[in-house]
Chains A and B, each alone.
Chain A
Amino acid sequence: DQQVKQNSPSLSVQEGRISILNCDYTNSMFDYFLWYKKYPAEGPTFLISISSIKDKNEDGRFTVFLNKSAKHLSLHIVPSQPGDSAVYFCAARDPNAGGTSYGKLTFGQGTILTVHP
């Protein structure tokens, strides 16, 4: 069962414009959501997160929005830069799934973002 889904395999955006990456989830027990960025030959790098008790979190050019009723979150990157080109993963934490710290993370399939100069 795919509890976290990123339905867009790829997204292409012009430099300076907004990039919007979307993520849907089915498990209402998830209490924390994270976005990771991954470059080729590197591990995923933490980007930004949001607690389930909030609906927005902002960090510089990156903003994550959470709509709990729709079980949907999105990552906005404004303005997009060519260096943002990477695979973006949405991940969610289930506090009841065992483990400590950030416990077991469930990842989406990823969205390849390409920002054109």
Chain B
Amino acid sequence: ETGVTQSPTHLIKTRGQQVTLRCSSQSGHNTVSWYQQALGQGPQFIFQYYREEENGRGNFPPRFSGLQFPNYSSELNVNALELDDSALYLCASSGKGEGQYFGAGTRLSVL
């Protein structure tokens, strides 16, 4: 077990709705990265937060946004959901000089 927890584990939304996914990082880790894993694909980097600031972003539109809180937990927000947003969303936390530790993910289904 990595100590990274994500909630909820599963979520069903309809097209056009908004969703918020949550991640608690491992104790002592100040960096959180979010990834989207579509079925049959590897995880794709969405963005990273370091000390409450966005610090690196992948090829995702602005309707994907995030927050990091003083306790280093993080949220991923997706507005105007599209069918293609259906995926497993993974959060990974890391500290200085360490690798990334992943949570079990949130499975989002957009109908």
Contact = CB atoms under 8 A, between A and B. Distances in A.
Interface of A: 4, 6, 34, 36, 41-46, 49, 89, 91, 97-110
B45 A104 contact: yes
A117 B84 CA distance: 38
B62 interface: no
A29 B96 CA distance: 21
Interface in B24-44: 31, 33, 35, 40-44
Contact of B31 (A49, A101, A106): A101
Contact of B98 (A99, A101, A103, A109): A101
Given A43-B105, A98-B55, A99-B33, A109 B41 contact: yes
Given A43-B4, A43-B103, A49-B99, 8 more contacts: A41-B104, A43-B90, A43-B104, A45-B2, A46-B100, A46-B101, A100-B31, A101-B94
B100 A101 contact: yes
B99 A34 contact: yes
- Give the bracket for the number of chain B residues in contact with chain A: 20 to 34
Nearest to A46: B99
A104 B48 contact: yes
Interface in B69-111: 90, 92, 94-105
A46 B50 CA distance: 21
Which are the 10 A-B pairs with shortest beta-carbon distances? A99-B56, A43-B102, A107-B42, A98-B56, A101-B94, A99-B48, A104-B45, A46-B99, A44-B102, A107-B43
B97 to A, nearest CB: 7
Contacts of A101: 31, 94-98, 100
Contacts of A45: 2, 102
A42 B31 contact: no
Contacts of A99: 31, 33, 48, 50, 55-56
Nearest to B29: A101
A100 B42 contact: no
Contacts of A110: 41-42
B16 interface: no
Contacts of A98: 48, 55-57
